[in-house]
Amino acid sequence: MLIASWSNFIGCTRRVSPRRLPDGMGVDAVNLRLGSGSLEPWKAPSTVVTTGGATPLISLYRMNRSVISDTAEWLQWTMDVDVVQSLVPNDPNEEIYYTGDGAPKLTDATLALPAIPGPAAWRMLGVPKPTLQMAPPATLVAGSGTTEARVYIDTFKNSRGRESAPGIPRTFSCPAGTTATLSGLAPVPGGSHDITLRRIYCSTDGGPYQLVVEQTATATTATDSLARGAVMQSGGDASKPAWEEPPPGTVGLINLWNSMIGGITAPKSFGVCEPGKPWAWPVEYQDTVNFDIVATGRWLQNWLLLTTGTPYLVTGSSPLLLSNQPIPFNQACVSKRSVQSLSSGIVWASQDGLCFWGQGGPRLLTEALMTPEQWQALVPGTIIGARVERYYVGFFNDGEAKGFIIDPLAPEAGIVFLSFGARGAYYDPISTRLYLQEAGNTIKRWGAGSPLTAKFKTGITRVKSLTNPGAAMVVADEPVAVTVTLWANVLQTGNTFAWTQVFTRTVTSGEPFTLPGGYVAHDFQAQLESTGPVSGLVVADDVSDFA
């Protein structure tokens, strides 16, 4: 007679009683590949780059993303860094922008490579404005026209042609037609700004600021010879907000939509750049929320701000049309690095569990799988989020580096734990490969090594009558080594019961094998461990039951 059969392996739950588990759910599942229903393992990560060095590297980014490669052009940092791609059309040098390593920076293939392991060189992302008001005109050659009011203002430009916000205006009156020599120009600021040019503009009688001269930035004087050129775009009127530098404490850069880049500009503030101009962050494009912003994520044209309190949703087609509102889901973010944007939504770690907002609305993915206390045992503040296929992968450290994987669209299928962890993760959208920054300052490619050992521990199966199973059989499409362990709640002297491991053996064929006698029980639980794949395990009274 058949006693027990386990033939569907999908995930585990630690919250539900082992006696009440649905089909396919176990009390433990490790390294189990999702989706097939078989006991099939993931493959181990395989080392593709060994950087070495004593200081742990935790962030990574691969340049030259137009070419699929495991080994080429990796940048790595010892701190939590967020990187976004260039907004420059037809960019030949693959410019990138990043935060987390001091003030916001940019680099590209001409500066960053060869990496050491971070960028070999970089520039500040923003362009500082002149901070000294120019002196009154040193020389005037008076014209003969009606007196007019002039306002002069200057900006800096860097070698990439990017212009700063305007400096301090200088106002004076003179007859129309007057030429002027301007002096006392602000010195070029120090630092890695790569400023090469200065522009001087003039507004006459309240008109638009028009270009007077563009000259070397270090020149201390300039001449207004009455030629007028382009209208200043960086400031000058309400329709042209000044192109201020991103605040120096900006973190969490993220590519949004319509050529906008966003970031956390202060503990409770967020902002975006001028569309298509990643160096320009007008103050008019910044806003605040009620809680400190921990991290952000994007799903479609939705920007989610994860805070120490309620999440906020930011939407809108352009900077001045962005609006934010809290979402009715009071789940704070406890780990910036846990946040991961997927095709279905955004996932993050809270104190109560793994949270999701996106397709289908907000929900706590682990609510039916783990109690808050069980979730806390994973130390959610250490979680680092990643993605594989449609799944969320979380790496945590509870004293040992480990991980887990879950399907945000079907959390009821359970959670699978991983026997390895990571210090950082990078998803390559070109190859759809996941790379892990691991101990020893190695970069490993997910799923490129040998099969891991998958483990699945079943729920408890109860039979009506006390019995002693006599045989079992592993079901597999091809011979594979499977370690089978069987527990029984064995009847003891005095009519009590005690859970006892009654059998363990590595089975290498699909032939039935005998089980030990000498006990009886109502309740049974099994565990399979294999490099797989395995379809199931059947337990029966006798070998003849498999005929």
Tens of pLDDT, residue by residue over 452-463, are 999 999 999 999
Give the residue carrying structure tokens 């029966």.
540
For residue 527, with 0-12 CB atoms within 10 Å meaning exposed, 13-18 middle and 19 or more buried, which class applies? buried
Q: What pLDDT score was predicted for residue 237?
A: 83
Q: What pLDDT score was predicted for residue 85?
A: 92
Q: Containing H/E element for 358?
A: strand 354-358
Tens of pLDDT, residue by residue over 353-389, are 999 999 999 999 999 999 999 999 999 999 999 999 9
**Among candidate residues 536, 538, 522, the one with its CA nearest the CA of residue 488:** 522
> Do residues 277 and 162 touch, judged by C-beta distance below 8 A?
yes
> Do residues 347 and 359 touch, judged by C-beta distance below 8 A?
no
- The number of angstroms, rounded, from the C-alpha of 536 to the middle of its chain's C-alpha atoms is 37
**Mean pLDDT score across all residues of the chain:** 95
Tens of pLDDT, residue by residue over 18-70, are 999 998 999 999 999 988 899 999 999 999 999 999 899 999 999 987 889 99
Tens of pLDDT, residue by residue over 253-310, are 999 999 999 999 999 999 999 999 999 999 999 999 999 999 999 999 999 999 999 9
> Do residues 386 and 427 touch, judged by C-beta distance below 8 A?
yes
Tens of pLDDT, residue by residue over 122-156, are 999 999 999 999 998 877 888 888 999 999 999 99
Three-class SS string for 214-225? EEECCCCCEEEC
Give the residue carrying structure tokens 């026997």.
419
The dihedral sign for the CA sequence 7, 9, 14, 15: negative
3-state SS assignment for residue 382? helix
Q: Containing H/E element for 112?
A: helix 109-112
Q: Please enumerate in sequence order all residues whose Cβ is within 8 A of that of 498, keeping only pairs 6 or more positions apart, or say none.
A: 489, 490, 492
Partnered with residue 6 across adjacent β-strands are 537
Q: Containing H/E element for 109?
A: helix 109-112
Pair of tokens at residue 274: 């001028």
pTM of the model: 0.93
